[in-house]
Chains A and B, each alone.
Chain A
């Protein structure tokens, strides 16, 4: 029975890996096409410089392969990317992967710190809101209201508070961007936890278990939490993705050396290898988050194992 379960899991993971590879192809091709659609390229500014001849610019474009048609450039990039080489940054004249790796590590550190903060505070608050009628409704309403504040505004406000009060280092420190990102995603965690717990509290199997005289502590840990975990695990996987996208802007405003500032510079400079590399790395993070969530769901919920 165990071997059968393992083979089902392996098949499931293989299917997910195939989906991930196809998605990465799509994401990278689309990024290439969209960057190409934007007017100009890295050498547009050089063309406007009277001290650089048009022959020199043409030579440089040729050297970096920018004179080739889009499909050719994409296929060349794809071939080298499959070997782990994301191309050479036009702006820095360095391998894009060498530029991206430390920045991606910083972004991952920021996103996972924010994720941990948001969930460590959000789940107990959501539970509290589900077990108290009016205070719970008020907290849920406040969480909905907090959802309307964009992370961008929060980051600006946090920056002002940090400068005025001196409570936090204003730039380059993990604490402030992590707090801003956690504050941005915590309302979703609170609302989802509350909804998941409320749904389980009314479920027939919990009503029946209570009628069989099972103690409240046992009900919480054996019935309520495992049953409420499913939507929350899925949400945690998605949260990583939303945190990553939100972190790009927050990093720029609060001076965290992650992918955000690098991507912004690359977009201004039309540094295609860095742009595409950043997007592909973000997509990989998103897929990994979703995959971890799916495997956790698979481990927690027997029904998913049957369906898988």
Chain B
């Protein structure tokens, strides 16, 4: 169940044996041994697929997505992407609102990546009123800022959207609306999602596959129903036992 796995359609992202180690040494302390954040992670992702990574804090989930989004360089391993422009992999961070410049208007935020005339279309695509394009980012609520961050990501014509616990800061009804919106966009634009989540409930509702990650390794992977009903690894069992809102099966 661990390591490399292949899905039936042609993958658009192939990650092989990714490793990343952080040193704890500093000028003032020799520190302990280096910590392996990623320890040989491999997976494939296909078009229109949603792959969720779940695991405890410090398991390596955020390091993994930062490496995929090009924000961090892995120590070794390969990331192959079926596209030339890395902007087609877009990351929406944990608190999407903080990723927006508070001095800009919605129009400026969405048009910055070069969307230009497409701004009204992108705003309505994410369910924001076109008339709000002149309002400053600070005038939007938390949920609306998430939609704005999504519109800006869509302005880059992405093929893969990475949601790094991007839904965690939203309250439940807004979370549900965002999940529906993301599923709708996936349907219309053929997007693939990589979802990072603490909450198995969201991952179960949203993802086609769930990969449990622990100490920088994928310890178990499979479709949500299979994973929830027949967990093999102790880490998976403990995550299911600790799921705050229960699991969707």
Q: Which residues of A contact B (CB under 8 A)?
A: 203-205, 207-209, 211-214, 222-223, 226-227, 300-303, 306
Contact = CB atoms under 8 A, between A and B. Distances in A.
Contacts of A227: 101, 103
Contacts of A208: 91, 93, 99-100, 149, 152
Contacts of B78: none
B112 A211 contact: no
A208 B91 CA distance: 8
13 contacts: A204-B93, A204-B99, A207-B71, A208-B149, A208-B152, A211-B69, A213-B113, A214-B112, A223-B101, A227-B103, A301-B103, A302-B138, A306-B138
A212 B112 CA distance: 8
A302 B138 CA distance: 7
Nearest to B108: A222
Nearest to B70: A211
From A211, A226, A300, A306, name the one whose CB has the most chain B CB atoms within 10 angstroms.
A211
A302 B156 CA distance: 27
A222 B87 CA distance: 20
Nearest to A213: B87
A69 B125 CA distance: 77
Contacts of A301: 102-103
B91 A205 contact: no
Contact of A205 (B71, B99, B114): B99
A306 B99 CA distance: 19
Interface string B95-114: 10011111110000000111
A274 B14 CA distance: 80
Given A204-B99, A213-B87, A300-B103, 8 more contacts: A204-B93, A205-B99, A208-B99, A211-B70, A211-B87, A211-B90, A212-B90, A222-B101
A303 B101 CA distance: 11
Interface residues of B, number: 24
A100 to B, nearest CB: 42
Contact of B112 (A203, A209, A226, A300): A209
Nearest to B152: A212
B235 interface: no
Contacts of B155: 212
A205 B104 CA distance: 11
B95 A204 contact: yes
A284 to B, nearest CB: 32
B136 A302 contact: yes
Contacts of A223: 101
Contact of A211 (B71, B98, B104): B71
Contacts of B71: 207, 211
A214 B113 contact: yes
Given A211-B90, A213-B156, A306-B138, A205 B112 contact: no
Interface in B134-176: 136, 138, 149, 152, 155-156
Contact of B102 (A209, A214, A302): A302
A197 to B, nearest CB: 15
Closest A-B pairs by Cβ, 6 of them: A208-B99, A212-B113, A204-B98, A205-B101, A204-B99, A302-B136
A213 B70 CA distance: 12
A300 B103 CA distance: 8
Given A211-B70, A212-B112, A303 B102 contact: yes
Of B70, B90, B93, B112, most buried by chain A (CB within 10 Å of CB) is: B112
A203 B152 CA distance: 17
Contacts of A209: 101, 112
